[in-house]
Structure formats: structure tokens, C-alpha cells
A and B are shown apart, each in its own frame.
Chain A
Amino acid sequence: MGKEGLGLEITELRLGLPGANSDSGHRCDVMIDKNEKKRAFSEISEDDVEEGNRKKTTIKNQVVGWPPVCSYRKKNSFSDKDGSAKASKMYVKVSMDGAPFLRKIDLGMHEGYSHLAKALEKLFGEALRNAESCEFVPIYEDKDGDWMLVGDVPWEMFTESCKRLRIMKTADAKGFGVLRSKEALN
């Protein structure tokens, strides 16, 4: 599936830690698929650590691979707030502006944001291709009912709090009141 010309550049929105700059001096990097440079959500980043702040700030919630718990265990043994066992399936509804029906996606089946991005492209490829040069932004509704921008928080935190996803036209975002978990970028 050729991804060029989908017109889905979200070039302004870097979905890593707010404040992280986009030049190559940044060591924890964006995964840009060589063959698909113009993918939608192409700037979703897995790594959240800002280089200079490695040891100074509280690291625990923002670092890849810490605490050192293997991914199998992460997916299978953590409790949610009620104290009951976490379901291994995390199906959430995904809507896209302009698409006639919703889809469902299992967040538990994905390793991180870039995998999620690929999956969303698979689900909405048709609709994305047909949407005439619109820009889209992925947002999600969290447990508190707020609409948040996808990509701010570590992946595991995201999967635990995401209740539904929406692929929204950037044009609509301006009036929408989407929250960011830290300062807004740009």
C-alpha cells in the first residue's frame, strides 16, 4: 500500500515528550520507516527520554524499559484501579471523521505507538485515501472523560487509560479543546 500522497502530514505534531526537539542530536529517536516516510502518524515516537535530563528528573514514568519487567508480565499481571485482574484484551472503539462506521482495535495486541499507527492505517486505509488531502490527528478519551492527544504518555499508561480513539480532522481540533499532558508543542 503506497503511503505517499495521503496528505496526512502531521509535521508540526511530534508525538514524543513535549519540548523534545526534532533535530538529529536527540538520541532517543523517532522511528521513521525508511520505506514509508510519508506515513500517517509518522512522528509517533516510542522513546520518551530527553537526553539532557536523563539522571536529573524523576525518571520512573518516562523511560523505556524501566522498571525492568518483561513485556509478557506487563501484559498479564497488572491490576487496574479496582484491584481485579486486568483483561488481556483491551478492545477500544476507533472512529474516524468522515468514515461511515467505527472499528474496534485491541490495544493489548500492540507493542507501542508505532505498531498502533500501522494498525490504524490498515483499518482506515480506504477512508484515509479517499479523504481529500485532509490532515488528521489521533486523539483518545481517557478514564476521566477528557480527550487527549495520542503519544504524550508512555505506551503502557496510554493503554490503561484509553477508553476510545478518534481520528479527528486537524481542522476540527482547533475548536475542540484537546488536552495535552504537558505544555503544548509548537
Chain B
Amino acid sequence: MNYFPDEVLEHVFDFITSHKDRNSVSLVCKSWYKIERYSRQRVFIGNCYSISPERLIARFPGLKSLTLKGKPHFADFNLVPHDWGGFVYPWIEALAKSRIGLEELRLKRMVVSDESLELLSKSFVNFKSLVLVSCEGFTTDGLAAIAANCRFLRELDLQENEVDDHRGHWLSCFPESCTSLISLNFACLRGEVNLGALERLVSRSPNLKSLRLNRAVPLDTLQKLLMRAPQLVDLGIGSYVHDPFSEAYNKLKIAIQRCKSIRSLSGFLEVAPHCMSAIYPICGNLTFLNLSYAPGLHGNKLMKLIQHCRKLQRLWILDCIGDKGLGVVALTCKELQELRVFPSDPFEAGNAAVTEEGLVLVSAGCPKLNSLLYFCQQMTNAALITVAKNCPNFIRFRLCILDPIKPDPVTNQPLDEGFGAIVQSCKGLKRLSLSGLLTDQVFLYIGMYAEQLEMLSIAFAADSDKGMLYVLNGCKKLRKLEIRDCPFGDAALLEDVGKYETMRSLWMSSCEVTLGGCKAVAEKMPSLNVEIIDESEQMEFNLDDKQKVDKMYLYRTLVGHRKDAPEYVWIL
């Protein structure tokens, strides 16, 4: 029933870029489905086990950009064994065999072997962009293959990966003919790089906008690089250690001043705090500042730096900034939208330097605040209620009290009311992480008010199944639920198994669910994979349904049980 020729519809669809919207478009009718699928270039797959590469290729022959996520979020915190899964090789292999002209691959929490990187580099002539976030399994040899073979590479962005650094000359593998780089981020590599090769590469990359160096790049090389690339927009400094009275430092000051386009600054993996004044000239233009890997920067030097950053929209910092430092942020950074405060010393929580006071100050001074990740020593209900009033626009609110069951220290009450105020006030809240002493009550509030909530992380909370039930019944848009160490059992798990088909995944570890309960879910819902992760070999010897399950991960899928699960993962 088309009133327009296909080409017109296709042209209209070109303007629809969000994945959600394109997915909706494809559901309208058969003809729209067909036009949409042939014109789709970018695909996002939030769980690599929900679909197979073959079906992806069959549906979207025009695919150019693929984003894949592998392990569940709690894998970041060592709750998922290393070889659980999330291998990218089968995807690259299938794409390589097909006629897909892949140009961009973005992976998160996946296992990436050197073999897969090599195959990737040789299989797609127009490959332009590789982004790896929190991945593992590869070495600098794999990077060398990418550098050597991807003739039109524009972007190589490595974020927080565990890379085995063979200290080979991967950087030198970029051929002289490679002049197309726009973005190069190797901050997470630990080894030496060939500094001469780096300088030459930057010199012949006139489009380079983003450069993030690792710790092995010293200050004098930084100066040379900046002289060659004054057009940079995003800079990650590796080592920033030098004598402030040296000639090299003076040269650096001049080089930095030429970089008038820098809007984003990160790194300082090694830092001499007395050298920070060289940075001041560019601070006024910064919109993103990430000092969360710079524990050497704190106290007055840090505060002075922040005072120059009046246009900051995103700030990632360590808790050594202290409540006082957050006060400076509140006074200076009126455009602030996102704040992340990471712990600098998580195992000696007594020294954690931020409390509810810092958060309240920022909420009062920065009305545009909409995204928070806050590791702190303590939190009070009163503070949370104030924050909720000051900042009703939170989209992401993640609070982590270092002692996970700590009550409000002033009243000794659970933090139910405080978080309740947050969900009630922030009507657009999409992501929430809870901590502190919490009863079923907070979940009642979440179920009642958090209508837009998509992701919820719970640890050491609740008194009974009711907590989980409030959430499952109330949060209609819930996509990801991850729970650890809560007293939720089979009754909660089995109340509405159909709900899980509307979600991407559910993680439950150290809860009260039993093998029998998990089996029941699997039986009722063939469209879910219900995985039991059990490394202790208990499962082999004791298949009693009443046995409690230590780790359960269930997710919806169109392709049934995966074939690559290790021995200790049972798919029911």
C-alpha cells in the first residue's frame, strides 16, 4: 500500500538514523520492512547471542557498520569467568565469507583474538573504523595487522582493553601511504611505542582530530606531536612529567597554546602536578575533562585547574577531589551535565574523600546535571531528596557507597526515601544503580515512579521477593536487570516469565533462586537462554532442583542455545 515509489521512501528513511526508530519503521508493513532492510547500513546488537551472524547478513545485505556487545555488565567486576564467551571470530568469519562491505566494527566486552583482527584487516577493502571497549584476548600483533592492512583506516579507538603488549612495532606498521587517520587512541596499551613512527604518522595525518597516547609517550614527544597537529579536538596525554624550568617544558607551553581546537582532554597517566599551568590556556574551551586515571593530581593544583574550566559539560574525576573540590566544580562548571567520581583507594574506604556533601553542592550549582556516577563514603536521605529537587533531569543515576549496606549515617535509616525521591522527581530516568542499606520499600517506589527506567543494578538490597516483584510489575520499559546478593528467590523469578522476553537480559547472582526455578523458566520460555554458571563442579555431582544457583544469566534469543559455552556453563 505505497503511495510513493520505493526510492522516495528510501530517501525518507535516510533521515531516520536511530536504531529504535528504524526498527519501528521495519514493523509497519512488509513493503516498509523490505525497503528498510535493504537500505540499513548501521546495526546495533546489544547481546551477541541473541542473533546469529548468518541471519544478520541475510537480512541486511547493505550492512556497513556493526556494533556488538558480548559479556554481561557484571563481567566488569570479575563476576563472570574469563572464558564465558563473547567471541567475535565467528562474526568476522561469517562477514568475511559474505559480500558485506564492512566499514566499521564496534565491540564491547568481547573476546577478540589476534586471528580475528588479522582476518578483519584482510577481508574488507573499505574498512575504516575499529572501536574496542573493555575487550580482551588480543595482543599488539593483532593491532599490527590492522595498521598494516587497512589502507583507508580512519579510526582505531582502544578503550580500557586488556591487551598483551608484545612491544612490537605495531605503530610502525602503518604504511607511508596511510594518511587518512582521524582518530587514534592507544592509551590502554602498556608497552613502549616507536616514538619516531608515531611522530611521522601524526605528521602525515592532516585529518587527525583525536589522539590519545599511552603512558610510554613522554612529554617531549607530546610537544612535537602537538606542533604537528594543532588541529586536534580531543587529546589524551600519556606521561606528563617534567621539570617546570626546563626548555622542553617551555616548548610544550607554546605548543599547547597553538591547539585552539581542543575540547576534550584526558589521560595524565603519570603527572607532575606543578606542570599543570601549561594546560590553563586551553581549559577555557574544554567540554570534557577526564582525570580519572590521574591519582597524582589532587588538592590545590587540581582545584586551580578546574577553576579554569568554565565550559565543562562532562567531568570524570577521582574522589581525591574531595567535597571541597566538588564545591569548586559547583561554582565553576555551570554547564555541567555529566559527573563521574571514581574511587582512588577502594579498599580503604575510610579514606574515601567524598560524601553526600559534595554531591549536594554540585546539584545546587549545576542545574543541567543529568548523568551521575558517584562512589562515596556515605549518603543520606536528606541529601538525596535535595539532589532530586535540584536536578529533576537525571537520565542516569548511579550511586555506589563503598560499604554497600551502609544506612543513612545521620538517622540510621535505610536509603529508601532518598532513592524514592530521585525516581519520583526524575521522570526521564533511564538507568539507576542502587547501594546502601535498602529494604523492599525502595523497590515499591521504583515500580511506582520509574516509568522510563531501562536498566537497574541492585546489590545487597531488599528483604524479600516483593522487592523484585515491584520492579518487574512496575517498570514497563525495563530492558536490563542485574542483581547480586539479594534475597530474591523462585517466587519472584517465576511470577511473570513472559516479562523476560520484553527485556534484553536478567542477571542474578548469590540470590535465592534454585535450579528448579531456573529450569521452570527455561521450560516455559523457549525463546530464552537460561544459563547457569557454576565453576565449583557442584552441578556435576548434585542435580537437586532445590539447590541454590550461584549465578544465573538469562537473555532472549532468536537462535537458541549457543554452542560455544565452556564446561561450567549449563544452558537449561
List CB contacts (< 8 Å) of A8-46 with chain B: 24, 27-32, 34
Q: How far is the CA of A63 from the CA of B562 in the complex (A)?
A: 30
Is B484 touching A65 in the complex (CB atoms < 8 A)? yes
When the two chains form the complex, which single residue of A32, A77, A85, A156 contacts B537, counting CB atoms closer than 8 Å?
A32
The residues of B that contact A61 with a CB separation of less than 8 Å are 347, 349
Of A67-75, A142-150, A168-176, the one touching chain B: A67-75
Does B261 lie at the interface of the complex (its beta carbon under 8 Å from any beta carbon of A)?
A: no
List CB contacts (< 8 Å) of B285-318 with chain A: 292-296, 298, 318
The verdict on A72 contacting B295 (CB below 8 Å), with A60-B404, A65-B74, A78-B345 known, is no
Is B134 touching A76 in the complex (CB atoms < 8 A)? no
Does B246 lie at the interface of the complex (its beta carbon under 8 Å from any beta carbon of A)?
A: no
Is B78 touching A88 in the complex (CB atoms < 8 A)? no
Does A90 lie at the interface of the complex (its beta carbon under 8 Å from any beta carbon of B)?
A: no
The SS class assigned to the A binding surface is: loop
The verdict on A78 contacting B344 (CB below 8 Å), with A65-B77, A68-B77, A72-B134 known, is yes
Does A164 lie at the interface of the complex (its beta carbon under 8 Å from any beta carbon of B)?
A: no
Does A133 lie at the interface of the complex (its beta carbon under 8 Å from any beta carbon of B)?
A: no
Is B460 touching A29 in the complex (CB atoms < 8 A)? no
Does B188 lie at the interface of the complex (its beta carbon under 8 Å from any beta carbon of A)?
A: yes
Does A186 lie at the interface of the complex (its beta carbon under 8 Å from any beta carbon of B)?
A: no
List the B residue with the shortest CB-CB distance to A49: B510
The verdict on A59 contacting B460 (CB below 8 Å), with A65-B79, A68-B77, A83-B298 known, is yes
List the A residue with the shortest CB-CB distance to B349: A60
Is B347 touching A154 in the complex (CB atoms < 8 A)? yes
List the A residue with the shortest CB-CB distance to B318: A77
List the A residue with the shortest CB-CB distance to B159: A72
Does B255 lie at the interface of the complex (its beta carbon under 8 Å from any beta carbon of A)?
A: no
Does A86 lie at the interface of the complex (its beta carbon under 8 Å from any beta carbon of B)?
A: yes
The verdict on A66 contacting B293 (CB below 8 Å), with A27-B510, A27-B550, A78-B345 known, is no
Closest beta carbon of chain B to A72's beta carbon, Å: 4
Does A6 lie at the interface of the complex (its beta carbon under 8 Å from any beta carbon of B)?
A: no
Closest beta carbon of chain B to A166's beta carbon, Å: 24
List CB contacts (< 8 Å) of B479-505 with chain A: 484-485
Does A64 lie at the interface of the complex (its beta carbon under 8 Å from any beta carbon of B)?
A: yes
List CB contacts (< 8 Å) of B169-202 with chain A: 188, 190
The residues of B that contact A72 with a CB separation of less than 8 Å are 134, 160-162, 188
Q: How far is the CA of A83 from the CA of B301 in the complex (A)?
A: 14
Is B403 touching A60 in the complex (CB atoms < 8 A)? yes
Is A60 touching B402 in the complex (CB atoms < 8 A)? yes
Closest beta carbon of chain B to A77's beta carbon, Å: 5
Does A182 lie at the interface of the complex (its beta carbon under 8 Å from any beta carbon of B)?
A: no
List the A residue with the shortest CB-CB distance to B239: A85
Is B271 touching A85 in the complex (CB atoms < 8 A)? yes
How many residues of B are counted as interface, with CB atoms below 8 angstroms from the partner's CB atoms?
A: 53
List the A residue with the shortest CB-CB distance to B457: A68
The residues of B that contact A103 with a CB separation of less than 8 Å are none
List CB contacts (< 8 Å) of B326-347 with chain A: 342-347
The residues of A that contact B320 with a CB separation of less than 8 Å are 79, 83
List the B residue with the shortest CB-CB distance to A30: B536
The residues of B that contact A55 with a CB separation of less than 8 Å are 405, 460, 485
Closest beta carbon of chain A to B556's beta carbon, Å: 25
List the B residue with the shortest CB-CB distance to A68: B77
List the B residue with the shortest CB-CB distance to A75: B162
The residues of B that contact A154 with a CB separation of less than 8 Å are 347
Is B402 touching A76 in the complex (CB atoms < 8 A)? no
List the B residue with the shortest CB-CB distance to A31: B535
Does B102 lie at the interface of the complex (its beta carbon under 8 Å from any beta carbon of A)?
A: no
Closest beta carbon of chain A to B79's beta carbon, Å: 5
Does A185 lie at the interface of the complex (its beta carbon under 8 Å from any beta carbon of B)?
A: no
The residues of A that contact B537 with a CB separation of less than 8 Å are 32, 34
Closest beta carbon of chain A to B60's beta carbon, Å: 32
Is A79 touching B342 in the complex (CB atoms < 8 A)? no
The residues of B that contact A29 with a CB separation of less than 8 Å are 535-536, 538
The residues of B that contact A71 with a CB separation of less than 8 Å are 76-78, 162
The residues of A that contact B542 with a CB separation of less than 8 Å are 24
Q: How far is the CA of A87 from the CA of B400 in the complex (A)?
A: 26
Does B127 lie at the interface of the complex (its beta carbon under 8 Å from any beta carbon of A)?
A: no
Does B269 lie at the interface of the complex (its beta carbon under 8 Å from any beta carbon of A)?
A: yes
List CB contacts (< 8 Å) of B72-107 with chain A: 74, 76-79, 82
> 17 new A-B pairs (CB below 8 Å) besides A67-B400, A76-B293, A83-B320?
A30-B536, A31-B536, A34-B537, A63-B404, A65-B74, A66-B459, A67-B375, A70-B76, A71-B77, A72-B188, A77-B294, A78-B345, A78-B346, A79-B295, A85-B295, A88-B215, A160-B347
Give me the interface of B with A, judged by CB distance under 8 Å: 74, 76-79, 82, 134, 160-162, 188, 190, 215, 269-271, 292-296, 298, 318, 320, 342-347, 349, 375, 400, 402-405, 433, 457, 459-460, 484-485, 510, 535-538, 541-542, 548, 550, 567
Q: What are 26 A-B residue pairs whose CB atoms fall within 8 Å in the complex?
A: A24-B538, A27-B510, A27-B550, A28-B510, A29-B536, A30-B536, A34-B567, A54-B485, A55-B405, A58-B403, A60-B349, A61-B347, A63-B404, A68-B77, A68-B400, A72-B161, A72-B162, A73-B342, A76-B269, A77-B293, A77-B318, A79-B345, A85-B270, A111-B78, A111-B82, A157-B347
Give me the interface of A with B, judged by CB distance under 8 Å: 24, 27-32, 34, 49, 54-55, 58-61, 63-74, 76-79, 83-86, 88, 111-112, 154, 156-157, 160
9 closest cross-chain pairs (CB), A and B: A29-B536, A65-B77, A79-B295, A70-B76, A72-B160, A60-B403, A77-B293, A85-B296, A67-B346
